[in-house]
Structure 1
């Protein structure tokens, strides 16, 4: 496997490396029973974060304010500006962490960190990684935290936009009836079957396979071994080299974790449906399927 995750020990050894930029991408998500509530992790960052880490606000700075749906990825030029503001150059090694996916959840896939990981790759920066286990694992191991806010000068990041990593609504409409495309729903089985009220419409896009992102991480936030991952993903068809994969979820977050896992397994023909169910369900002509 390739290794889109770095270990806490590796990062501890590189805390003062000037070529490494650490980003805290924490967002807090809470299941309210009538949808999902998300809030930036800026206050938590101010209280405690990894030494030399900068806060990357996914909800404000790294989402398109002019888009119809929340969490829409920034246009490339706007992303470049935000990356530069964090002191990032084309030669910077970027390591991203968060504090876990959902408040009170038991699974530990760092899908907020993987969301920003995907955005960096979308803008042509491959020297980007997620911290396995995120801040919870770091803190559990007794590694240092601080409330000091680091200073930086503007970076010179340029990047090159990679549209093949981005799926639009029209791409998903094609995938519904195209057997050469695997349409992967990354939400829980309950969400997939239509048993929850977490999203605007219940269920899943027709033709989807369900691979829950939370099953693709160990209880410490690491990736399971290659054999275990392949066993979980083979039935979906996503590992067949002649097929394209489009991952989606509710708002384009969990889908990026599955994209990261597929990247780790050597699959490059993988796009994330950025709008996901939030966009798809807004058009009442777009079908949704339930299994209740």
Structure 2
């Protein structure tokens, strides 16, 4: 059974502005380039400046790497402990009484879909704004400027759901397992190992298939039709009877695939959180190229 409530249109959101139960968050982060030879693939920069330049009225801003990730981890954007997330979301006014939680980002939806997957793992079914701030702005809808005003702080108590994130040991153990399909959401050139990887060794998790997140998004930054998305997954061998592991470079763009699969009714889904940021650097792990 599909779950269309995971996505909300700009028209639908416009009717909800001002609703006291609405919690609306800009989730934008920017991955900026680093000098050659750097130990990290990019520099994670919060989108607070673009938020100040323009945001949907009433929105608050969430800093993914700064507040909602394990900053002690070598990789960016790793899931922290539940207690840290409860405190962080509570500071931003999220609790069980908020019946409508909407997430959006600028430039790409993957930052909002990452928060969507994180919140699902904590028991909160949020919605992602289709097309993000780009579509909202393109349509000439009302925009505010300035720093976030935020929401009154609350006590957020998560209801964690198991199985939403896995590690390298789990992924390695499923290589060759006929009941599992592992999906790489990076572009085909990186999946095939045809271009140098900023994460380390070029290539992919052995046996994984490729459904690039970029192919699930239209030119106007909205999501493709569900039928088109399902055709792509089916062609890659992703079927409802399989356990599906998603990965990408840093556990971000793969959440676009996860959103689409959830919308399509797939329910055996998990995310390799560290993704190629870990796998490509670990010489003990097998890697495959064309």
TM-score (norm 2): 0.92
Match of 2:216 in 1: 216
SS at structure 1 position matched to 2:175: helix
- Corresponding residue for 2:207? 207
CA contact (8 A) 1:31 1:198 kept: no
| Runs (5+) with no aligned partner, structure 2 | none
Point out 4+ residue stretches in structure 1 off by more than 4 angstroms: 30-35
User: Structure 1: how far apart are the matches of 2:179 and 2:64?
Assistant: 33
- Distance verdict in 2 for CA 1:24–1:211, change over 3 Å: same
* Structure 2 counterpart of 1:124: 123
Distance 1:235 1:175 in 2: 21
CA contact (8 A) 2:134 2:221 kept: no
- Rounded to whole Å, the distance in 1 between the matches of 2:7 and 2:163 is 22
Q: Does 1:8 align with 2:7?
A: no
Q: String of CA shifts for 1:269-289, please: whole Å, max 9, x gaps.
A: 100110101122232110111
Please give the per-residue CA displacement for 1:186-224, whole angstroms capped at 9, x wherever unaligned.
000111112133322211110100000010122223332
- Which position in structure 2 is the counterpart of 1:236? 236
Compared with structure 1, are the counterparts of its residues 98 and 181 closer, same or farther at alpha carbon in structure 2 (3 Å cutoff)? same
CA distance in structure 2 between the aligned counterparts of 1:14 and 1:141, rounded to whole angstroms: 17
Q: Out of 85, 90, 95, which is 2:91 matched to?
A: 85
Residues 164 and 269, structure 2, Cα contact 8 Å, conserved in 1: yes
Q: How many residues align?
A: 281
For 2:35 and 2:73, how far apart are their aligned partners in 1?
26
Which residue of 2 is the match for residue 267 of structure 1?
266
Q: CA RMSD, aligned part only?
A: 1.6
SS of 1:245's equivalent in the other structure is strand
Partner SS state of residue 24, structure 2:
strand
Maintained 8 Å contact 2:185/2:254: yes
Residue aligned with 1:233, SS: helix
1:66 and 1:37, CA in 2 relative to 1: closer, same or farther beyond 3 A? closer
CA-to-aligned-CA distance 1:99-142 (integer Å, 9 cap, x gap): 123xxxxxxxx11110111110111112x011111111100111
In structure 2, the residue matched to 1:27 is: 29
Q: Any idea what SS the aligned residue of 1:16 has?
A: coil
Residue 44 of structure 2 corresponds to 38
Rounded to whole Å, the distance in 2 between the matches of 1:62 and 1:206 is: 30
Structure 2 counterpart of 1:105: none
For residue 197 of structure 2, what is the aligned residue in structure 1? 197
Q: 1:23 to 1:151 in 2, by over 3 A?
A: closer
* Residues 33, 197 of structure 1: 8 Å contact kept: no
Q: CA deviation at 1:30?
A: 4.2
2:277 maps to which residue? 278
How do 1:76-225 and structure 2 match up within 5 A?
A: 76-92=82-98, 93-101=100-108, 110-126=109-125, 128-148=126-146, 149-194=148-193, 195-225=195-225
Contact 1:182 1:236 in 2 (8 A): no
